[in-house]
Chain A
Amino acid sequence: MEMGMKFIRVNMNKKSIQVEDVPGEYAGLGGRGLTSTMINAEVPPKCDPLGPENKLIFAPGLLSGTPLPNTSRLSVGAKSPLTGGIKESNVGGTVAAALAHLGITAIIIEGQAPGGELSFLRIDEKGEASLVEAQAYKGQRTYELVEKLFGIYGEKTSVLCIGPAGEYRMNVASIQSTDVDGRPCRAAGRGGMGAVMGAKGLKALIIDQRGKSSDPIANPKAFKEAIKAIVEAVKADPMSGNVMPNLGTAALVAPVNAMGAFPSYNATRGTLDGWEKICGEAMAELIKERKGKTTHRGCDQCMIHCSNEFVGKDGQFVTSSLEYETIWATGGMTGIADLDTIARLDHLCDDIGVDTMSTGVAVAVAMDAGYKEFGDAKAAIEMIEEIGKGTEFGRILGSGPVAVGEHFNHARVPAIKGQSIAAYDPRAMLGLGVTYATSPMGADHTAGNLVGAYLEHMLDPLSPEGQVETSRFLQITMAAFDTMGQCFMANVALLSPNHFEAFRKVINAKLGTQLEPDDFPIALGIRVLKAEKEFNRKAGFTNEDDRLPRFFYDEPLPPHNTVFVISNEEIDKALDF
């Protein structure tokens, strides 16, 4: 068991806080492995996600807060109101390291505050937790909120918070996390974790960054030695060492469009007209001209610096970090090939506290149904403002793309288990379809993303061969790395047997264990996925939920004019443990 590491359980009904030692059965787990295992063990699978029986769990990765770089991911877990299944949404920034430095393995929020009461959970320099009345902050957007909180609690503070969308308990509500510069611009976006937080009556977690109670490293000398190999691999990788610091994730706009797999105009075409105006290269040139930052450190202990600061024509900050999936959802899906509009929408989503992906897709579904024209930037801004204001239509949008489809009786809704796809059309990148269909999270961009495998010539995106196996391998591997708290950008530099061995040395030095080759990442990843699938089964999911929407099988996607062709039998093999 980890010495001195603790769980903080907060009961929102009783306003009580209990501190307990981490039970033995959770040893060696952190991040997604911990949140998913606990939810499977403690949350009634058929409970109302917005009711008192659900639990909202915050867990830094097992290696968060250690000297290993790129480990500042915090996992947020609960039963999802968007999918009805288990959810882990992870986020960067500074919170994971701050919690780890306080010796906190997880914070578990239970129960439900009575009658619309709103609180902050404050964790001070010594790791003492207390609930603070927050009624005065009701309805506040995230940027204004964190500015006030820094004024009260000082700059050495990390904040996780919800905006109005979380208070409205909307399915697309995010939990926003402060970055290194104290802006609430990083999001645990997917799955409506903000709605669960709002339903609990929790407006923000306010965490002191000055903790000095980190879990000891079992063998510090070996740890120092072991992380060298990881650092070298991440530096040497062309993506994490070169492309990410120069262009960030927006570097994907060009290749995915060139491959005809960029779902555009609500996934009716695989290439966006004018994508060259919103690609990463265009964004980098624009940011440089305006003297913003094309590279920026968003998260604690990051050595990749994939973040950026987008500034307006006047050189003033608009948003950070403008990312590929956001550019796609708010630009590609809506047909808005304009970076200034996209940046404004990104800021708006962060400020209201909604997932840019689900929100952009919800807007796109409404446009496809004829509510507004594709490419109408003014309409997109107004629609998202409606979410923030909580108007009737705003609440439909905020319920996610499936609800929008039902509202307009419109069947072309690119969502699986209620969650929208990401920026890769499964008809032109077949393996992404396998991941979208089978991930216990619903359609997802990090759970098992094959785009790199295509660009590295490992398999043909349009041929069924190898797609199921590659999706399976990546889903397992990512579940294991998500347990460590390591960033996706570093994970993808470490997908070889040699690097797995190097990573096992890091874990062994941290925990004083002797992991066998099978233990990490494969056995750990399978253990996590099994727990997630078990929860979903108990919640009522079957293999029939692991299917793509009908139109992906029926409507050919230009320019390749192909449909999704992997059979259900093959799909069912992907995570058949």
Chain B
Amino acid sequence: VKIKVRLFGTLGQNISGYRHSQEIEVEIPNGAMVRDLLTHLRISETQGVAVIAEGRILEVNDMLQDGSLVNVMQAVSGG
């Protein structure tokens, strides 16, 4: 499945030349879960990371749908 991903916080710094809010396309196997996407993106620590699609925070075991847009974000506790 192909997933459109946007990286936020300091996560974009893992990819050289990444500009804020830029969509990148990621191909992962059918049936892949949020956890697999994070592994693919080399985001090892799940603590403090929130994957948000269509306004909802996904859990690591949630399955990803082909063509969906997900925002990979970091937890912040208030401003």
Interface residues of A (CB under 8 A from B): 238-239, 242-243, 246-247, 249-252, 254-255, 258-260, 270, 276, 279-282, 284-285, 323-325, 422-423, 428, 445-446, 449, 451-457, 460-461, 488, 492, 559-560
Contacts and interface: CB of A to CB of B under 8 A. Distances in A.
A15 B76 CA distance: 46
Query: Which residue of B20, B52, B75 has the most chain A CB atoms within 10 A of its CB atom?
Result: B75
B52 A259 contact: yes
B73 interface: yes
14 contacts: A238-B45, A238-B74, A250-B79, A254-B9, A255-B8, A255-B52, A255-B73, A255-B76, A258-B52, A276-B21, A325-B79, A445-B78, A451-B77, A451-B78
Contacts, number: 114
B50 interface: yes
B55 A276 contact: no
Contacts of A255: 8, 50, 52, 71, 73-76
A120 to B, nearest CB: 32
B57 A455 contact: yes
Contacts of B76: 239, 243, 249, 251-252, 255, 451-452, 455
A492 B78 CA distance: 9
Interface residues of B, number: 25
Contacts of B74: 238-239, 242-243, 251, 255, 455
Nearest to A461: B57
B59 interface: yes
A455 B77 CA distance: 8
A358 to B, nearest CB: 15
B21 A282 contact: yes
Contacts of A449: 77-78
Nearest to B20: A281
- Binding site secondary structure of chain B: loop
A451 B21 CA distance: 21
Contacts of A446: 78
Query: Which residue of B19, B47, B57, B59 has the most chain A CB atoms within 10 A of its CB atom?
Result: B57
Contacts of B55: 258-260, 270, 428, 559-560
Contact of B20 (A252, A282, A457, A461): A282
Contact of B21 (A259, A260, A279, A560): A279
Contacts of A238: 45, 47-48, 74-75
10 A-B pairs with least C-beta separation: A452-B77, A324-B79, A249-B79, A281-B20, A238-B48, A449-B78, A455-B75, A492-B77, A260-B55, A276-B21
B8 A452 contact: no
Nearest to A447: B78
Contacts of B21: 254, 276, 279, 281-282
A281 B77 contact: no
Interface string B58-74: 01000000000001011
A243 B20 contact: no
Contacts of A254: 8-9, 21, 71, 73
Interface in B28-52: 45, 47-48, 50, 52
Contacts of A281: 8-9, 12, 20-21
B16 interface: no
B62 to A, nearest CB: 11
B10 A243 contact: yes
A479 to B, nearest CB: 15
Contacts of B73: 254-255, 258, 455
Interface in B1-30: 8-10, 12, 19-21
Nearest to B52: A258
Contacts of A488: 78
B79 A259 contact: no
A281 B13 CA distance: 11
A301 B9 CA distance: 25
B34 to A, nearest CB: 11
B44 to A, nearest CB: 12
